A and B are shown apart, each in its own frame.
Chain A
Amino acid sequence: MDAPDVHPGSPEAKYTDRVGKYYAIYVCLLILAALQFYIASLHLDTSAAFERMLLVAIVEAGIAVMFFMHLWAEKRSWFLFVVIFMVAVMGGLQYGWTDSNRMETGAPYAQPKPGVVQP
């Protein structure tokens, strides 16, 4: 059915495409969520489990943003703005993980260097 307030050539016209596509994406998300729980059931080492779960979560989020939130249907400049900005912010925030690992392992500078006199 055509949406009366949507121009046929506009990105929003894609909101009224076949409903089967949405159900297929929904099933994909369910499968990815099930994969998360499967990874947890393997009782892996924390870092190994975290890496796998993070990867699956990023894929899930990407699918949700692109298809459920229709970012793929928006104008390319807006799509790029959102993606680049989010990646930059998230990338900066992720420094927290690596920095906490640095303080845990002591490489570099978290532990005193041998032979260096501490004040």
Chain B
Amino acid sequence: MSQADMTMASHVHHHPPGMVEGLPPFTVPAKKMAMWLFIIADAATFAGCLVAYGFLRNGSANWPRPFESMTNAILMTFILLTSSLTMLLGVRAAKAADRSGAFRWTMITMVLGVIFALLHIREWLELIDRGMTLSHNPWGTSLFGSVFFSITGLHLLHVTGGVIALLVIGLSWKAGHRTAEDIEVAGLYWHFVDLVWMFVVPFVYLLNMAH
């Protein structure tokens, strides 16, 4: 062993007082921390989109109010909130080592996400049928279409990604290739998707209800 190796070896086993080897920062596991950091960044993205929407809305003299019924928004909100509950129950089951229960709740969450996405697409098709596009609509400023489809489309993209992730993680959990932490991290993402919807509904839908 060279002098350099002996020096390195002595440094490897020497810790300053109070230092504990191996603990992650804040004692949050790496996967969970990565997901939290992603959530913070993504929250800033959505906040930026909503702020830009507010800026455009404030600056437009003829901002349209095309939504005549709350029914679809109510239904979509209920489904997404319920999917958050089922995801929570899935995480709880995973932490309690209930393999079949965690898989069942994860799949229920995924199905609710699919239903939400289908309702969303159906709403889009109805608006398109009424003459709304990215650059034109029959009610007011042309900015409305681009803002609406951008914000709701970005959220729908997140829902779709979450559905795919839940399917993959759920199936691999059932096969025994995942830990409870993986279910928990997927749950964090899904709750974030629901959290964003809590801001999208009032600002994009409810503030644009027809009087």
Q: Give chain A's interface residues, CB within 8 Å of chain B.
A: 1-6, 12, 15-16, 19, 22-23, 26, 29-30, 33, 36-37, 39-41, 43, 46, 49-50, 53-54, 56-57, 60-61, 64-65, 68-69, 74-75, 77-78, 81-82, 85-86, 89-90, 93-94, 96-97, 99-101, 103-104
- B88 to chain A minimum Cβ distance, whole angstroms, is 5
- B194 to chain A minimum Cβ distance, whole angstroms, is 7
Residue of B nearest to A1 (CB): B96
- Beyond A5-B95, A56-B202, A60-B198, 16 additional contacts (C-beta under 8 Å) are A1-B97, A2-B96, A6-B95, A16-B96, A19-B92, A22-B88, A22-B92, A37-B73, A39-B202, A53-B203, A53-B206, A54-B202, A57-B199, A64-B194, A78-B27, A78-B36
* Contact call B211/A78, Cβ cutoff below 8 A: no
* Contact call B98/A1, Cβ cutoff below 8 A: yes
Contact residue range for chain B?
35 or more
Say whether B139 faces chain A, with CB atoms less than 8 Å apart: no
Question: Lowest 3 CB-CB distances: which A-B pairs, in order?
Answer: A78-B26, A96-B51, A53-B202
* Contact call A104/B206, Cβ cutoff below 8 A: no
Supposing A3-B96, A16-B92, A40-B202 touch, asked if A97 and B54 sit within 8 A by C-beta, the answer is yes
Residue of B nearest to A95 (CB): B51
CA distance A16 to B37 in the complex (A): 25
Give the one of B44, B95, B194 with max A CB within 10 A: B95
Say whether B52 faces chain A, with CB atoms less than 8 Å apart: yes
CA distance A64 to B187 in the complex (A): 12
- A87 to chain B minimum Cβ distance, whole angstroms, is 11
* Contact call B206/A15, Cβ cutoff below 8 A: no
Give the one of A36, A50, A61, A68 with max B CB within 10 A: A68
User: Which of B40, B89, B179 is close to A19, meaning CB atoms less than 8 Å apart?
Assistant: B89
* Contact call B55/A15, Cβ cutoff below 8 A: no
* Contact call B36/A82, Cβ cutoff below 8 A: yes
Say whether B106 faces chain A, with CB atoms less than 8 Å apart: no
CA distance A74 to B56 in the complex (A): 38
CA distance A96 to B209 in the complex (A): 23
Supposing A68-B191, A97-B54 touch, asked if A53 and B95 sit within 8 A by C-beta, the answer is no
* B contact residues around A12 at 8 Å (CB): 95
Residue of A nearest to B96 (CB): A1
* Contact call B58/A50, Cβ cutoff below 8 A: no
